[in-house]
Amino acid sequence: MQIFEKAPAKINLSLDVLHKRNDGFHEVEMVMTTIDLADRIELTSLESGKITIESESRFVPNDQRNLAYRAAKLMKDQYKVNEGVNIFIEKNIPVAAGLAGGSSDAAAVLRGVNRLWNIHASYDELAELGAKIGSDVAFCVYGGTALATGRGEKITKLPSPPPCWVVLAKPSIGVSTQTIYQALSLEKAVHPNTEAMIKALHMGNFYGICAEVGNTLENVTMKLHEEVGQIKEQMRQAGADAVLMSGSGPTVFSLVSQDARAHRIYNSLKGFCEEVYMVRMLGYQEKTC
């Protein structure tokens, strides 16, 4: 049997780092939303019981280090499944970009093998299991728009923003999330107003959402990679309603209400930046198991 799952990227509408915890993780408050830039995951059941992984991307490991492999292994062990699975990843989300590509692949495998192996676990159970793989995996199980707290694994659903364009540009550098957190000095950090962002989402106020975008990690990454600031400036000049770096970067996105301006931003960045995308936001994962 073979099934497919869509693994969408996320952007951070806001990202606040509150403090460092005793366990070494940072306590965060993030408002995240999924966008229509997605990897495609193909799952084929294997009677041998093995978990195998394939991808044409040279940027992701095709072995146990792949987060998608770890997701299948966790499900197999947790629910004592005899069957195996071959995981094929069509990689469309840029890697190490602040878009949670690896976490979304892992979440898609959790949802996918749940169906493939007839496990019937709830999304809450999948999210709890996913949090063992990485902090962003729990959010990626549900998709849509949500507030993520704790180290990112505690999810509260929120209304999605009104429909708009998201134009993304990734400079040709990879950024390690760990390096950015290590360079962060919380005394000098800028903190977004998460409460105001949540209020704007509840009101469905697009310009209110645009006014509240903010990311504590942005200044840190921008200091290390000047390309991030350059892209932000270019997007602003081309007429973006809001501009922000996603996650620990280096991808910068803009929110744009009008088609013509979104095309202008997209075209102004094409040629300047190797990877540029113009997509819509995505609603919640509608399927349950």
- Annotated binding-site residue numbers for ATP: 94-104
Closest to ligand ATP by CB, 194 vs 248, is 248
CB 199 within 8 A of CB 208: yes
Annotation marks residue 80 as catalytic? no
Q: Shortest gap between Cβ of 267 and ligand ATP (angstroms)? A: 25
| 227 binding ligand ATP? (CB under 6 A) | no
- Kindly tell me which residue out of 99, 146, 255, 265 binds ligand ATP, with binding defined by CB under 6 A: 99
String of contacts with ligand ATP for each residue 188-217, x by CB under 6 A = ------------------------------
- Kindly tell me which residue out of 11, 60, 72, 220 binds ligand ATP, with binding defined by CB under 6 A: 60
CB 4 within 8 A of CB 40: yes
Structure tokens, 223: 């200091």
Cβ neighbour number for residue 64 with a 10 Å cutoff? 10
Q: What distance in Å separates the CA atoms of residue 10 and residue 7, rounded to the nearest whole number?
A: 10
Out of 10, 91, 170, 232, which one is annotated catalytic? 10
Q: Where are the beta strands (DSSP E) in 81-184?
A: 84-90, 145-149, 154-158, 165-170
| 177 binding ligand ATP? (CB under 6 A) | yes
Residue in 267, 146, 257, 157 with CA at minimum distance from that of residue 208: 257
Annotation marks residue 199 as catalytic? no
| 224 binding ligand ATP? (CB under 6 A) | no
Scanning 22-30, 75-83, 98-106, 142-150 for contacts with ligand ATP by CB under 6 A, the matching segment is 98-106
| Beta bridge partner(s), residue 124 | none
Q: Where are the beta strands (DSSP E) in 183-224?
A: 214-215
Scanning 42-50, 61-69, 113-121, 231-239 for contacts with ligand ATP by CB under 6 A, the matching segment is 61-69
CB 45 within 8 A of CB 245: no
Which residues here bind ligand ATP, judged by CB under 6 A? 60-61, 65-68, 89, 95-103, 105, 136, 177, 247-248
Catalytic residues: 10, 136
